[in-house]
Amino acid sequence: MTPEIVISLPFEGRWLARNSPARRVPSHGTDLMGGRYAIDFIGVDHRHRVAERRDWRTLLATEPVERFFAYGRPVLAPADGVVVQVHQGEIDHVARRSQLALVPYALGQAARLRQGVTALAGNHLVIAMRHESAFVALAHLRAGSVRVTVGEKVTAGQRVADCGNSGNSTHPHVHVQVMDGPDASAAQGVPMAFRRFREWSRRADHFQIRESGLPEEGAVVEPLPIIASDMGT
């Protein structure tokens, strides 16, 4: 079995875990695009809400991305390394929570898959990890927000972009995956875990502190300060 790669959560504050590999593998229902162990995170407020309000648009139409707490939040490098791929230029789509609004979106899924990585990942970047033979990708970034360039060295916790809704995304979130190569169209997914975080289970009001692991599906997580001796990647 491939050993898991331990990285830091790529944000501050509280985020909701979706499509967690702790629930199933492949986590997104496919091995394509290096996403076997990928996970999504949606920014929430202190009440664990994903957006500031719900109204008729939530039930019947699309919604402005600015409603969502994740939109525009800083995205941080999950590990020390070198940026080996950057793609910008994709727009941020309107958000879709309504089942009616999701129908035309679902019908376009096959076309996006045929278009390849950029149509699925949207604005994204890939970091070659310094201490591992692995590559970590961050996807669905806000249009124009990527702050790094190919060849640039980054350190864990450095702001590299903002959360957006580009690519194959129904509402603002950050998609994280670790791969065995820099090109998602040819790479295989690699198991990962996250360093030191607080986790609120969806089945309980209290939280637990985890030194390393994967959030359960539907849990809310918040990164905690990393002890210097733990910064191995």
Other residues' Cβ atoms within 10 Å of the Cβ of residue 225: 6
Cα 154 to chain centroid, rounded:
18
User: β-strand 135-141 against 123-129: which pairing, if any?
Assistant: antiparallel
> Given pLDDT bands bounded at 50, 70 and 90, which one contains residue 213?
very high
**What residue spans of the chain are helical by DSSP H?**
56-60, 99-107, 109-115, 117-121
Phi, psi values for residue 32, rounded to 5°: -65, 155
Per-residue pLDDT at 141: 98
Cβ atoms of residues 218 and 16 within 8 Å = yes
Q: Which two tokens stand for residue 172?
A: 């603002």
Please state the CATH superfamily assignment of the domain spanning residues 5-49+57-225 in this structure: Glucose Permease (Domain IIA) (2.70.70.10)
Residue 233 pLDDT > 50, yes or no? no
- ∠158-222-5 over CA atoms, to 5°? 65
Q: What percent of the chain has pLDDT over 90?
A: 77
d(CA 161, CA 141): 7
Q: pLDDT tens, 14-27?
A: 999 999 999 999 99
